[in-house]
Amino acid sequence: MAAPSGFTPKQMAPRSPGVLDAIQGTVTKQIAKHALSLAPPITSESIVHDNACGTGAVTETIMEGGVAPAKLHATDLMPPFAQIVAGKAQQNGWGFVETAPMNAMELGFPDNTFTHSISNFFIQAVPVPAKAAAEIYRTVKPGQTAIVTSWAPVPHSDAIETASEVTRGKDVVLPMRFSPETYTAGWLEKLLKETGFSSLHIEDFDGYCHTDDLRQWCTHLWSFMGAAAGGWTPKDEEDWDLAIDTMVKTLKENPDVEAREDGSATVKMVAHIAIATK
């Protein structure tokens, strides 16, 4: 059944940057820090792109490293995310940071602009990954570096799919679900090689997301990623608790999730990290 226009379950958390931060915790920063350690170091002469910056995990990680680049461009398709990074830059006095709303498949930068282009966990989500990869390649200087990260299968993806099946039946399309083949390191390697990068190193890295309240974490996840292709329906509102119960149960049964009696949990998330040279 198609969803009524604009229907929102009363239990749904807003799909906001704050909710995304609550879902991610520090895991994307953990992985960004390791990825940066594998690449040529950022110096005071570097020109950096934080591509699809989200709430600024990469930009913050770079600044925690203690060396400010000559220029850092943080861009995201969603204006609220770019605005959040702009606010952090202003608050911290990062005058070298420039932010803008920008589509990763149509970057508004000249060819051969960046010494470091960092794309942290968006390549699986764009409609045409090859276009986004081509834009990364186009905007990196010859001989310089692109860092691209992607997810291996993550525990919460299975939990969301199981909750959808239990509450809606099978064969319901979840638009926030990545294509299964994109979860492999081979997919990322093939994508970047076909784009034209001359050398490529890929390795896996384990990140850990901690939540003090697994049920609340599941509520945020379901709010952010649980809608079917047709949108939310009144039945989703009726079945909301069943969906969350199913997610919690599925996660507790996953060997990559440590769920504790106080309601807290730690979720292991494996990333593929690619260091590519143009």
pLDDT for residue 172 is more than 70: yes
Per-residue burial over 147-183, b if 16 or more Cβ lie within 10 Å, else e, is: bbbbbeebbbbebbbbbbebbbeeeeebeeebeeebb
pLDDT at 137: 99
* Average model confidence (pLDDT) across the chain: 95
Rounded Cα gap, residues 135 and 149, in angstroms: 15
Task: Walk me through the domains of the chain, giving residue ranges and CATH numbers.
Answer: 17-277 (3.40.50.150)
Residue 200 buriedness (CB in 10 A; 0-12 / 13-18 / 19+): middle
pLDDT at 4: 45
pLDDT digits (tens, 9 = 90+) for 98-146: 999 999 999 999 999 999 999 999 999 999 999 999 999 999 999 999 9
**% of the chain with per-residue pLDDT over 70:** 98
- Whether 247 and 215 have beta carbons less than 8 Å apart is answered as no
- Helix, strand, coil % (nearest 5) of the chain? 40, 25, 35
Q: How many CB atoms lie within 10 A of CB 18?
A: 13
pLDDT for residue 2 is more than 50: no
